[in-house]
Structure 1
Amino acid sequence: MGLFNWKSRIQCRYLLSILGFIGFIFNYLLRVNINLIITSMTVTSHKTELNSTETQANLFNWNTAVKNDVISSFYFGYIILQLPGGRMAELFGGKKVLGLAMGLTSMLTLLIPTAAKLGGYGEEDYPYYLVTLRALMGLSESVTFPAITSMLAQWAPLQEKAFLTTLIMSGSQVGTIVAFFGSGVSVDALGWEATFYIQGCLCFIWVLIWMIFVYDTPSTHPFISDTEKKYIQSGIQINNNKQAVPWRDIVTSVPVWACFVANFCTNFGFHLLMTELPQYLQYIFEDYFVDSTTIGIWTAIPYACAWIASVVFSKLCDCLIRTRKLSVTNARKLFSSLAFGGNVICLIILATVPTNENPQLILTLVTFTVCNSIGSAFFPGWLTNFQDIAPQFAGTIFGISNSVSCVNAFVGPKIAGALLTADPKDINNWMYLWIITASIMGFAGIFYAIFADGNLQPWSKQKSVESEKRKEKDPVGLELSTKY
């Protein structure tokens, strides 16, 4: 009796969102943990006194280029299944696609220590096995964001769309926090090998819970209440009829291109900061950042603040739309502009104020924190916009966008490597990197503000008499918002 009484007490869309949030913590934890752990795996960056179980002989002698290859190889695989992943989720359900992907990623994580050792420890050795393993992890995770986007189009009503989308996908920020801070503490306490084993096992436990308690749509959920089901269906513009993808309309749609450009440029800045921030702090402030825990704390703090800010921004965005203070289009543009504009200002500060003589530790940490926090406004901005313009094909369109955008995840580190190879301790070399990033973000902000649209596109409208009647009665799906 208790089990079947759940539907009178638990809101299934929130259960999905909470489990999705935890899943995306693991999604990012397992992809970026090596960004910090690699500083404890290698000889050249190992600055702390070795403990009794670790000697110079079992640290890898990798130079900066090799370390960047290990970090960025994830994204060579990450490109491949973005588009197929979105379409598979639309046709077969995002639950299975996401669950299987993260299950495979957790198993591959358990193999990282062995793969690293098989490549050898010497300066002339190259970690081919580890690079290949990381690429396979990227291949597995490449379906995750398109899959959850497809599920959100089924589960997130307009009046809560920004919040539910942000709640789940901001797990990526918390995952980055855990990857930097949690991994730093774990490495110092237990060693780098144990850290991979622990995180891989915990992710597999989440996969089991996800597969048991989550369902693809409200209509297939056995425990959802009729009241919640009606509430969700009143605020979405999608049905479960499988339709052919209108490829020509998608490719020629200006609002789609606005989302593409925003995604591409945001990914450049996001992944660049995620991969280079630990190294920037370590090289420029080497006297302060002397162990993995310290680096982990101060690289995690900006993402912790960003997560809090993203929740606030999303609730504010939903409120502005629900109370009709802003149209969906203007709300998406406002928060996207806030994200891009804030990032540009912060990056210009980093590029112009710190110097080799006065690197400005406090200013740097504050600026990175503000940059990440205000940048999180993209969650209720362009990231949610995919579901507005084409909910039936949101997974496919996001897959196309992300497959191109994630190129930046390994292009960014390559650009950084080229600029910093001469002397990564020279703050002037980092200045050029921040200027390039600010220029890219500024362009994206202008392009999106001009061409974005929050309305359902004509080529994506559903052939459903029932949904059309609901739309005529309540155009923005708010009729039940005061009843539930």
Structure 2
Amino acid sequence: MNLSIAMPAMVNHTALPSQANASTGSHPTDAQDNWNGTLKEFKVIAPVYDWNPEIQGILLGALSYGSLLAPIPTGYVAGVFGAKYVVGAGLFISSVLTLFTPLAADAGVTLFLVLRIFQGIAQVMVFTGQFSMWVKWSPPLERSQLITIAASGGVLGSFIILTVGGLLSQTIGWPSIFYIFGGIGCACTLLWFPLVYDDPVNHPFISPAEKEYIVASLVEQGGSPGWSVPLKAMVKSLPLWAILVTTFCIFWRFYIIMSYIPTYINTVLRANLRDSGILSALPFVFSFPSLILGGQLAGFLLSRKILTLINIRKLFTTLGILVPTGLLLCLPWVTSSQSTTIIFLVLSCVFGSLCEVGVLISIVDIAPRYCAFLQGLSHVFSYISGAISPTVSGYLLNKDSEFGWRNVFLVSAAINIAGLVFYLIFGKAEIQNWAKE
């Protein structure tokens, strides 16, 4: 999220074409003055680059370019040898590269692009490796709650960086964002290695009762995948393809929101850098509790046998796709009202977080034995989407200054609805035959 909030301060807006729908509705004069004043202020504080929307889209999507092939070997290695060192190393490398981001940006677009690609590979190690730990730590009935609580940390992190990042950009310059949060990442690495263990059996502080409960609850789902992975059966599995295709479609919308919310608010709503950061953070602060509550609700519905597991997954996925898609399609029509726009963005993120309790967690349902490997495969599809989505969006915004944002949201809606239909037809939530011991 660092680059997303820093980007409005890093680019020379006077060199860009007028943004889509910026002329739709009248904006207060003081907001325009604040925005122009902000531009003059940060030009003195930090470097400014002449990057058009297309280049911005490429840089925002670069985190995913080098990540396309990394998740599968990362997930496999984490599943076989343990995730502690894989995740810890990824966290450390990504944090160090964050510290060097301002230097890379000054050196030119090419070096900046290369750094972002390597940073994306490091973050794959974090996101993919952690799932092999959940297979060993989360009892099946508690899995939805535990994974969503952990995933909510990403939402909380997004809220913090957007809130603080806009203020930092406007006061001491955008490079401080990368120095401060890169340093925090390095500090977290020092906590990770002494406190984290791959499984409850080797944990020195866990109580014997809890250890026995976790181990006993996982006996029936199978053990380590070993060195054999049934690739042929996986390729033929429609439930697996339903998860992968829908993951691609969901992350298409997710990467647009994650990458472009600060730019959208800064250019379309004409908010200054500080206000842009605060307003961009609101969708994430409301998504934080909704993600946790969604996991708790899913666990409640399952434990009380109100709905079957597959119905829970499909219900939450449907809500997590249809509602945000409809709200984003309405955004170009409400640009004259800042409050309405922010409400729509908040609601789209709140409902969108429900997908974490739906299709995005389904791999642990159909193949817990190969969870790390398949989660890596799922991340391949999400990173393909993350590479294409901002790049296509940047192209659309650069090509059509009047209807660019509308076109971005229309393409996103078509892709999301297609993915939902595919999952509703082929999605499953029981362990597949090829994933059994």
Q: Same fold (TM over 0.5)?
A: yes
- Structure 2's unaligned 5+ residue stretches are 15-34
Return the match for 1:176 from 146, 153, 158: 158
Corresponding residue number in structure 2 for 1:393: 370
2:404 alignment partner AA: N
Corresponding residue number in structure 2 for 1:447: 422
Deviation of 1:53 (Å): 8.8
1:418 is the counterpart of 2:358: no
Q: Equivalents in 1 of 2:163, 2:116: separation in Å? A: 21
Corresponding residue number in structure 2 for 1:160: 142
**What TM-score do you get using the length of structure 2 for normalisation?**
0.90
Corresponding residue number in structure 1 for 2:8: 39
Corresponding residue number in structure 2 for 1:284: 268
Distance 1:52 1:390, change over 3 A: closer
Corresponding residue number in structure 2 for 1:316: 297
Q: Equivalents in 1 of 2:118, 2:350: separation in Å? A: 31
Q: Equivalents in 1 of 2:420, 2:42: separation in Å? A: 50
Moved more, 55-64 or 391-400: 55-64
Q: Secondary structure at the match of 1:216?
A: coil
Deviation of 1:414 (Å): 2.2
Q: How many residues were matched structurally? A: 415
1:153 alignment partner AA: V
**Per-residue deviation, residues 223-258 of structure 1 (Å, max 9, x unmatched):** 221211122123332324625111111111111111
Distance 1:382 1:241, change over 3 A: closer
Contact 2:256 2:389 in 1 (8 A): yes
Return the match for 1:347 from 328, 346, 365: 328
Q: Equivalents in 1 of 2:364, 2:5: separation in Å? A: 34
Corresponding residue number in structure 1 for 2:232: 248
Q: Secondary structure at the match of 2:282?
A: helix
Distance 1:187 1:370, change over 3 A: same
- Structure 1's unaligned 5+ residue stretches are 1-31, 120-126, 463-484
1:268 is the counterpart of 2:268: no
2:324 alignment partner AA: N
1:75 is the counterpart of 2:64: yes
Deviation of 1:36 (Å): 1.4
Deviation of 1:434 (Å): 1.3
Distance 1:175 1:56, change over 3 A: closer
Contact 1:181 1:299 in 2 (8 A): yes
2:411 alignment partner AA: I
Contact 1:43 1:56 in 2 (8 A): no
Distance 1:326 1:48, change over 3 A: same
Moved more, 277-286 or 342-351: 342-351
**What TM-score do you get using the length of structure 1 for normalisation?**
0.81
Q: Equivalents in 2 of 1:36, 1:370: separation in Å? A: 20
Corresponding residue number in structure 2 for 1:4: none
Return the match for 2:406 from 422, 431, 434: 431
Q: Equivalents in 2 of 1:54, 1:430: separation in Å? A: 27
Q: Equivalents in 2 of 1:444, 1:322: separation in Å? A: 28
Q: Equivalents in 1 of 2:296, 2:345: separation in Å? A: 24
Corresponding residue number in structure 1 for 2:24: none
Q: Equivalents in 2 of 1:241, 1:361: separation in Å? A: 51
Q: Equivalents in 1 of 2:46, 2:433: separation in Å? A: 63
Contact 2:95 2:186 in 1 (8 A): yes
Return the match for 2:167 from 161, 170, 185: 185
Contact 2:283 2:347 in 1 (8 A): yes
2:346 alignment partner AA: T
2:361 alignment partner AA: T
Q: Equivalents in 1 of 2:308, 2:380: separation in Å? A: 30
**Per-residue deviation, residues 432-469 of structure 1 (Å, max 9, x unmatched):** 2212211211122222122111111111112xxxxxxx
Deviation of 1:311 (Å): 0.8
Deviation of 1:52 (Å): 8.2
2:171 alignment partner AA: A
Contact 1:153 1:238 in 2 (8 A): no
Larger helix proportion, structure 1 or 2?
Answer: 2
2:254 alignment partner AA: F
Contact 2:54 2:397 in 1 (8 A): no
Distance 1:422 1:341, change over 3 A: closer
Q: Secondary structure at the match of 1:455?
A: coil
Contact 2:134 2:147 in 1 (8 A): yes
Contact 2:62 2:117 in 1 (8 A): yes
Contact 1:177 1:304 in 2 (8 A): yes
Q: Equivalents in 2 of 1:171, 1:260: separation in Å? A: 23
Distance 1:293 1:244, change over 3 A: same
Return the match for 1:107 from 96, 107, 111: 96
Deviation of 1:422 (Å): 4.1
Deviation of 1:423 (Å): 4.8
Q: Equivalents in 1 of 2:36, 2:74: separation in Å? A: 42
Corresponding residue number in structure 1 for 2:26: none
Distance 1:302 1:224, change over 3 A: same
Q: Equivalents in 2 of 1:48, 1:78: separation in Å? A: 38
Contact 1:80 1:142 in 2 (8 A): no
1:459 is the counterpart of 2:425: no
Q: Secondary structure at the match of 2:69?
A: coil
Contact 1:390 1:456 in 2 (8 A): yes
Q: Equivalents in 2 of 1:298, 1:64: separation in Å? A: 21
1:361 alignment partner AA: Q
Contact 2:38 2:170 in 1 (8 A): no
Q: Equivalents in 2 of 1:53, 1:431: separation in Å? A: 30
Distance 1:342 1:40, change over 3 A: same
Q: Equivalents in 1 of 2:311, 2:426: separation in Å? A: 11
Q: Equivalents in 1 of 2:301, 2:179: separation in Å? A: 44
Contact 1:154 1:238 in 2 (8 A): no
1:55 alignment partner AA: V
Q: Equivalents in 1 of 2:268, 2:43: separation in Å? A: 27
Deviation of 1:57 (Å): 8.4
2:202 alignment partner AA: T
Q: Following TM superposition, where does structure 1 have runs of at least 4 consecutive aligned residues deviating by more than 6 angstroms?
A: 50-53
Q: Equivalents in 1 of 2:234, 2:74: separation in Å? A: 17
Corresponding residue number in structure 2 for 1:362: 339
Identity of aligned residues (%): 28
Deviation of 1:41 (Å): 2.1
Corresponding residue number in structure 2 for 1:218: 200
Contact 2:9 2:39 in 1 (8 A): no
Query: RCO higher in 1 or 2 (8 Å CA, sep ≥ 6)?
Result: 2
Moved more, 35-44 or 310-319: 35-44
**Per-residue deviation, residues 315-360 of structure 1 (Å, max 9, x unmatched):** 0001111122222222111111111121232233335x33xxx633
Q: Equivalents in 1 of 2:388, 2:40: separation in Å? A: 36
